[in-house]
């Protein structure tokens, strides 16, 4: 195993009103299981970081994925990223960082992986109309920088700022790489866009 993906899933989902990991996404899947299966399909070992409030989701994660619990998830996303990093082998070749509310089709992952390898990039990021999206891919040389991120210094955003000139940007012609499913309205809109429902009524999300 040389390629890993940290999937951040420890948030409180305050704006959504219900835990995002449980949201239906595709036939018989949830946002969480869909994400993990996509990463497994492209040869990455997903390391999903859960919080104490949704730790029971460990039992639904597909075989081949790893799960860790961040008991301090309420102090910021940076602590979840650092928790995930503790379970990544020091000799990894590529590390991807994504979040449970950022579903992507496999073609996006495949294109980013190929670009990252072909350009021997330190960091690879997808963009749409000059906006940087997710997931981000990091080479092993970035490990020490990732381990030193702190919430008070903007976390991952500080690395992006510091290394921006050397980020290999992969341009996409659709906004899918910018998608974050943060609210019930966005969720239902995306269910429609992805065709994840049948009939005229969309699933409802209740607090």
Task: Tell me, yes or no, whether 206 lies in a domain.
Answer: no
What is the rounded distance in angstroms from the CA atom of residue 104 to the CA atom of residue 71? 27
Measured at the alpha carbon of residue 160, what is the angle toward residues 6 and 147, in degrees to the nearest 5? 50
The reported pLDDT for the residue numbered 203 is 53
Domain span including residue 119:
3-192
The reported pLDDT for the residue numbered 204 is 56
Q: pLDDT at residue 205 above 70?
A: no
Q: pLDDT at residue 31 above 60?
A: yes
Task: Tell me, yes or no, whether 155 lies in a domain.
Answer: yes
What is the rounded distance in angstroms from the CA atom of residue 34 to the CA atom of residue 2? 21
Number of domains within the chain? 1
Task: Tell me, yes or no, whether 205 lies in a domain.
Answer: no
Q: What tens digit of pLDDT does each residue of 177-201 get?
A: 999 999 999 999 999 889 876 543 4
Q: What tens digit of pLDDT does each residue of 74-98 get?
A: 888 899 999 999 999 999 999 999 9
Q: Which residues contact 75 (CB under 8 A, 6 or more apart)?
A: 151
- Helix, strand, or coil (residue 53): helix
- CATH classification of the domain holding 146: 3.90.550.10
Task: Tell me, yes or no, whether 197 lies in a domain.
Answer: no
Task: Decide if 106 contacts 122 (C-beta within 8 A).
Answer: no
Give the pLDDT band (50/70/90) at residue 134.
Answer: very high
- Helix, strand, or coil (residue 173): coil
Task: Tell me, yes or no, whether 149 lies in a domain.
Answer: yes
Q: pLDDT at residue 72 above 60?
A: yes
Task: Tell me, yes or no, whether 99 lies in a domain.
Answer: yes
Give the pLDDT band (50/70/90) at residue 52.
Answer: very high
- Helix, strand, or coil (residue 113): helix
Task: Tell me, yes or no, whether 207 lies in a domain.
Answer: no
Higher per-residue pLDDT: 1 or 26: 26
Task: Tell me, yes or no, whether 55 lies in a domain.
Answer: yes
| Strand partners of residue 6 | 47, 97
Q: pLDDT at residue 202 above 50?
A: no
Q: pLDDT at residue 49 above 50?
A: yes
The reported pLDDT for the residue numbered 153 is 76
- Percent of the chain beyond pLDDT 90? 79
Residue 58 DSSP label = G
């Amino acid at each position: 195993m040389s390629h890993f993906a940290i999937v951040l899933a420890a948030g409180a989902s305050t704006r959504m009103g219900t835990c995002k990991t449980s949201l239906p996404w595709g036939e018989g899947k949830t946002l969480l299981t869909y994400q993990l299966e996509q990463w497994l399909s492209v040869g990455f070992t997903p390391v999903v970081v859960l919080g104490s409030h949704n730790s029971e989701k460990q039992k639904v994660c597909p075989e081949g994925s790893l799960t860790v619990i961040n008991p301090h998830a309420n102090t910021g996303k940076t602590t979840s990223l650092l928790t995930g990093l503790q379970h990544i082998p020091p000799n990894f070749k590529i590390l991807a960082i994504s979040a449970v509310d950022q579903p992507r089709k496999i073609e996006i992952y495949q294109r980013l992986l190929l670009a990252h390898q072909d350009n021997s990039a330190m960091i690879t990021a997808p963009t749409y109309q000059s906006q940087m999206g997710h997931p981000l891919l990091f080479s092993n040389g970035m490990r020490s920088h990732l381990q030193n991120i702190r919430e008070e210094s903007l976390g991952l955003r500080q690395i992006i700022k510091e290394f921006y000139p050397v980020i290999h940007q992969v341009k996409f012609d659709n906004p899918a790489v910018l998608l974050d499913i943060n609210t019930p309205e966005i969720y239902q809109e995306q269910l429609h866009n992805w065709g994840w429902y049948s009939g005229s009524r969309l699933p409802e999300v209740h607090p």
